[in-house]
Amino acid sequence: MIDFTNCRVVPGRAYNGANGSKIAVEYNGEVYMLKFPPSGEKKPTELSYTNSCISEHIASSIFNLIGIRAQETLLGTYTVKAKTKIVCACKDFTVDGKRLFDFCAIKNTIIDSDSNGSGTELEDIMDTIERQKYVAPHILREHFWDVFVTDALLGNFDRHNGNWGFLYDDSRCEAEIAPIYDCGSCLLPQADDKIMQRILLNEEELYARIYQFPTSAIKQNNRKINYWDFMSKAENEDCNKALIRIMQRLDIGKIENLIDTTLYISDLQKEFYKMYLRKRFELIIRPAYERAKLKSKNN
């Protein structure tokens, strides 16, 4: 177990984001951004703060397991005013001088677009992907849909234009896709023990959190995309191709082993995360994959 409380705070680094405080610390000779959990006091649960740091670590680790490069994360503790909280340490991937540009900033460079950078309408995002000059469009398009499918597995409700993007190397005038980051909205981070137990014991409660919500932050026709509805129709060829790619790399057994070996979480949390992910896999990802595979074969 890791206690970050006495780690040296690295000056001159600050991080955006609305959910929880963030500081830079040095740990084992590397710079990490410590993410503190936002308060849950105004939420209708018994949580004093949300489980977003746990979600951040598990979801980032799952992305890496699947083969989609994500930030390296560690769970640990930090004590402030005699209160010890679980924090997520995210290895800073900009320490080598590369600058992070989120997709919102890239979208703003399309000056003749009718939508602004923060707009998450799917059609506008696809238009920006084709017209941006930073990364080859076909590579970026594949990345977008690989992330979309994985977010569907993880139940991510907040993958907006401000939390994915590019790293730019000024010395080489080159850009690359940034590692996946900001995954704290996966895995129902506001669920306390009572909600977890209720979902584990009640299929109606579980199915509501699979078939109805959480939805994607991406919109189609000004409505947030329902993961199950969108993917089960198998109408988007790029999404279908991503499903086929992801299924070749997705191993539920490895994901469950990851959760079983995660420190700082209770047996109830382990049981809940494993069940939630397995059911989203069985009821959303696998059926959509079968339809995508059939459609690809017919075509």
**Mean pLDDT value across residues 45-67:** 86
Q: pTM for the whole thing?
A: 0.94
| Range in 94-98, 112-116, 129-133, 232-236 the model is least confident about | 112-116
**Mean pLDDT value across residues 134-153:** 97
Determine the Cα angle at 74 with ends 69 and 75, to 5°. Answer: 135
Please give the mean pLDDT across all residues of the chain. Answer: 92
245 CB neighbour count, 10 Å cutoff: 17
DSSP β-bridge partners for residue 277: none
Cα 88 off chain centre by: 14
C-alpha 201/C-alpha 118 separation (Å) is 39
More confident residue, 226 or 81: 226
180 CB neighbour count, 10 Å cutoff: 23
Pairing of strands 99-102, 165-169: antiparallel
C-alpha 157/C-alpha 182 separation (Å) is 11
**Mean pLDDT value across residues 259-269:** 97
Q: What is the pLDDT of residue 49?
A: 57
* pLDDT tens-digit series, residues 227-244: 999 999 999 999 999 999
Put residue 17 in one of left, alpha, beta given phi > 0 → left and psi -120 to 50 → alpha.
left
Q: What is the pLDDT of residue 17?
A: 65
**Mean pLDDT value across residues 131-152:** 96
How many Cα atoms within 13 Å fall on the side-chain side of residue 263? 11
Q: What is the pLDDT of residue 40?
A: 54
**Mean pLDDT value across residues 93-111:** 89
Q: Is the pLDDT of residue 178 over 70?
A: yes
With bands split at pLDDT 50, 70 and 90, how would you rate the model's confidence at 15? Answer: confident
Q: Which two tokens stand for residue 206?
A: 């579980």
141 CB neighbour count, 10 Å cutoff: 18
